[in-house]
Structures are given as C-alpha cells and as structure tokens.
A and B are shown apart, each in its own frame.
Chain A
Amino acid sequence: IAGITQAPTSQILAAGRRMTLRCTQDMRHNAMYWYRQDLGLGLRLIHYSNTAGTTGKGEVPDGYSVSRANTDDFPLTLASAVPSQTSVYFCASSPSFLFSPLHFGNGTRLTVT
C-alpha cells in the first residue's frame, strides 16, 4: 500500500542520547517534511527537503538534523536529546514543493526523560 512509513511508533529516550526517526515514502514524491506537534502550539515545521539532495530549515530546526540521500528516505536525527524535544513527530511528503497538499505518516511519539 502506497504511503509514508515512520519508525518507531513510539520511543522513550534518555536525555543526551542520540536518536534517528525514520521516514520512508513510496509515492515518488519530490518534497518531504518533518513536523512536531505539541499541545497548544500546533504543527511546527522542523526541516524540509524540496528534492533529493537538498534540505532546508523550518521554523524550529535547532537540535535536529536531516538528510535526503534519495527520493524515498528522509531521516530526522536528534544528536543529543533534551526533554523539550518530547513531542509527536510527523513526517510528510508532497508531489511538489509548491501548492500541493501534504500526506502524513502515522507519527512517532517521543518522550525524552
């Protein structure tokens, strides 16, 4: 079934540890995004990629890094997790970077203790 797969579904992580959230899509979408969603703050863009090989910073990029080695994969890395990074993380993709709606993965619920 075509779509976006995120892993893990949930994770409890000790502060200071490194963590990579995985995101894979099989729709051949050019653009991919990482959002975090927190109560009262809505969805906030962390990083995006408008095509394989390029990435850009969103609204809240600090403490996160991404790579886009190919069209399908867009991992998000927390180099040294902090409790404020406790959130629900959604990966999304869209056919093009402009104007097309986003399709979301199921999300990763991350708790940093």
Chain B
Amino acid sequence: RKEVEQDPGPFNVPEGATVAFNCTYSNSASQSFFWYRQDCRKEPKLLMSVYSSGNEDGRFTAQLNRASQYISLLIRDSKLSDSATYLCVVIYSGAGSYQLTFGKGTKLSVIP
C-alpha cells in the first residue's frame, strides 16, 4: 500500500455542486495533516490544516478519520475558481524518524 494515496480524478462538477476528496495514509502514527491547492504551472499553496475535531473555512471543510486512516476535503457551492489540483500532506515524526509525504493530487474542474 502506498504511503499516501489520492484519487487523481479528474472530478468534473457543475458550478454550485458539492464535491469531496479523500486522501488515505498508511502510517497510523501520522500526526499532522494539510490540504494544499495547486493551480496549473503554479506552486502549491496551503489551503487548510486538518484538525482532529474537523475544521471549516468558508465553503471548505476538512476532516480526519483516524480509525480508517484518511482525511477528507469537502467543497460546497463550487466556484469556477475552485478548479485546481488538491494535494494532501501527511506528516509523521517519531523514534528518530521524520516523514512528510505529499499525495499526487486530485484534479478538480468546475464547469459552468
């Protein structure tokens, strides 16, 4: 099993739709989680951190499911400007080891 996996998509959704992405991770001791957004030919930019209790930022909701080892990103009322690739990041540190792993990303296209 790969360390961090994402459905590459593309997810093609109409404006106003709700869309959700998952990111699974293999190391059950992973401690920190983030979602990034990357536009075509641009650098990744931090979208939001993922907290154990779940967190929301406007139309975006991030959740962590430790039992099933995945994080999710929910986008409500999709906008054309949400079209991008969404990357998850999983961090593990312990026993002298440190690992920060990016998923390969899920591509979202919001269609008029």
Chain A residues packing against B (C-beta within 8 Å): 40-43, 45, 90, 97-99, 101-107
Give the secondary structure class of B's interface.
strand
- With contact pairs A42-B103, A97-B98 given, residues A90 and B34 touching in the complex (Cβ less than 8 Å): no
B43 touches A101 (CB 8 A): no
Q: Give A106 to B102 CA distance when docked, in angstroms.
A: 18
Which residues of chain A come closer than 8 Å to B100, judged between CB atoms? 45, 102
Which residues of chain B come closer than 8 Å to A42, judged between CB atoms? 87, 102-105
Rounded to whole Å, the gap between the CB of B84 and the closest CB of chain A is 14
Total chain B interface residues with beta-carbon distance under 8 A: 19
Closest B residue to A107 using CB positions = B43
Which residues of chain B come closer than 8 Å to A105, judged between CB atoms? 43
| B12 CB-CB contact with A under 8 Å | no
Which residues of chain A come closer than 8 Å to B102, judged between CB atoms? 42-43
Rounded to whole Å, the gap between the CB of A46 and the closest CB of chain B is 13
Closest B residue to A105 using CB positions = B43
| B71 CB-CB contact with A under 8 Å | no
Which residues of chain A come closer than 8 Å to B34, judged between CB atoms? 101
Q: Give A52 to B55 CA distance when docked, in angstroms.
A: 34
| B19 CB-CB contact with A under 8 Å | no
Q: Among residues 60 to 112 in chain B, which have CB atoms less than 8 Å away from a CB atom of chain A?
A: 87, 89, 91, 93, 98, 100, 102-105
Which residues of chain A come closer than 8 Å to B91, judged between CB atoms? 98-99
Closest B residue to A109 using CB positions = B41
B43 touches A104 (CB 8 A): yes
| B22 CB-CB contact with A under 8 Å | no
